[in-house]
A = this chain, B = another copy of it.
């Protein structure tokens, strides 16, 4: 798990949710969630945070080597 998208995908599966369910719960569009899991780089931070909050996380500053830091 070395990217934001992979993180979301793995957490989603841990919670046994479909993309559709997670998107609905997080309040974002299905298409956006898919782009997030595919690590599209141009996503808006607020939308990404709406998803990450479902897992008690959010976007923050990390060192360049690291990707996930909890």
Contacts and interface: CB of A to CB of B under 8 A. Distances in A.
Interface of A: 4, 7, 41-46, 48-49, 52-53, 56-64, 66-70
A63 B57 contact: yes
Number of copies: 2
Question: Which secondary structure characterizes the binding site on chain A?
Answer: mixed
A66 B69 CA distance: 10
A1 to B, nearest CB: 9
Max chain B C-beta neighbours (<10 A), residue from A42, A56, A60, A67: A60
Given A41-B45, A60-B62, A61-B69, 19 more contacts: A4-B59, A4-B61, A42-B45, A45-B45, A45-B59, A53-B64, A56-B63, A57-B62, A57-B63, A58-B63, A58-B64, A59-B60, A59-B62, A60-B60, A60-B66, A60-B67, A60-B68, A61-B70, A62-B69
